[in-house]
Amino acid sequence: MTQEIMHPRFVWWNGQRRPWEECTIHVTELGWSTVGAVFEGIRAYTGDRPDELYIFRLREHLERLERSMRLVRLKLEYSLDELSEATIDLLRANNVHEDSYIRPLAYAADTSGKRFAQIGHDAALLVNTSPMASHLKSGMTQVAKVSSWRRISEDVMPPRIKNLSNYRNSQLAGMEARLDGYDTAVLLNNQGKVSEGPGACVMLVSGNQVVTPHVGSGILESITRDALIVLLREVLDLEVVEREVDRTELYLADEVFTCGTAAEVTPITSIDKYPVGNGSIGPVTRALESAFDDVLRGRDARYGHWRTPVELAVPAVV
């Protein structure tokens, strides 16, 4: 097994695939350089055969990276095709044969002494990969609380993009929830309506309808949420409504789950000690986990346009 090395062999950094050890910056670069950083979180999933690996919705993630960079005035120096090829090449070079996380990060280079007041810093861009096992269909569940922290709003920070500074808000809510004995939080927005969890969107099932806060609720424009809306409609034949959602709807829902690249589909079994439904994973959530897994791992041919295949060398049989 080559997996004894705890980091991948290569990182893609500023236009080149480079050995991990060479990718260092000076300590004085720490601090302001990341205030304006934006990133992406992308997953790659193995298929049923050992040479199968699929990146989920790579193009949409790279397009969102471009939008995030544009909003924080960092210039993207590469085409999306170049970034896409670099990502595929990196996964192959790192000999990735397991479910993995791919994280492009763009930050303002050379900010030492300049802080963040200037605009037009050169953008540095890196892409790294790390193993991240899927928890879909594993039976993993979470208990949640409604956070006392409100979700950042459009008049303070840009909630719809993956802006690194936004995550202090998610982190405060997540820490509060865990210290209070819960696994995760649901944040309300400044209007007191349901927004999202720390790094994950929220959906609830009520009868035959699935309801999720609309994009004006201060949510991040989640690619997983978008995909699940399609699967709920097309595969599970359910009605999905995007609208404002009240806190008490969470307490009365039949099923609640969070979703996102990291969260995948995570069933929530209680909120503020109100059991959700009968307190176990509901049938819609269960069916959705299964349908999503089939899409991610290349079993569902209808959604091939969401998958970028990484052709891997078959690992030697030992």
Quote the least distance from Cβ 291 to ligand PLP, whole Å. Answer: 16
Tokens coding 57? 């919705």
Contact status, residue 33 vs residue 122, Cβ threshold 8 Å: no
Quote the least distance from Cβ 138 to ligand PLP, whole Å. Answer: 19
216 belongs to the binding site for ligand PLP (CB under 6 A): no
Contact status, residue 53 vs residue 44, Cβ threshold 8 Å: yes
The one segment of 113-121, 122-130, 196-204, 273-281 that binds ligand PLP by CB under 6 A? 196-204
The one segment of 83-91, 187-195, 220-228, 233-241 that binds ligand PLP by CB under 6 A? 220-228
Residue 19, H or E segment: strand 16-19
260 belongs to the binding site for ligand PLP (CB under 6 A): yes
Alpha helices in the chain, H assignment, sequence order: 58-71, 80-93, 167-179, 223-234, 247-252, 283-296
41 belongs to the binding site for ligand PLP (CB under 6 A): yes
Q: Which is nearer to ligand PLP, 259 or 312 (CB)?
A: 259
* Active site annotation includes 162: yes
Residues in contact with ligand PLP, counted by CB under 6 A, come to a total of 14
Gap between the Cα atoms of 77 and 58, Å rounded: 18
- Active-site residue identified among 137, 145, 162, 193: 162
201 belongs to the binding site for ligand PLP (CB under 6 A): yes
Quote the least distance from Cβ 226 to ligand PLP, whole Å. Answer: 8
267 belongs to the binding site for ligand PLP (CB under 6 A): no
Identify residues 115-174 at the interface with ligand PLP (CB under 6 A).
162, 170
Residues near ligand PLP, by CB under 6 A: 41, 162, 170, 196, 199-201, 220, 222-225, 260-261
Q: Which residues are catalytic?
A: 162
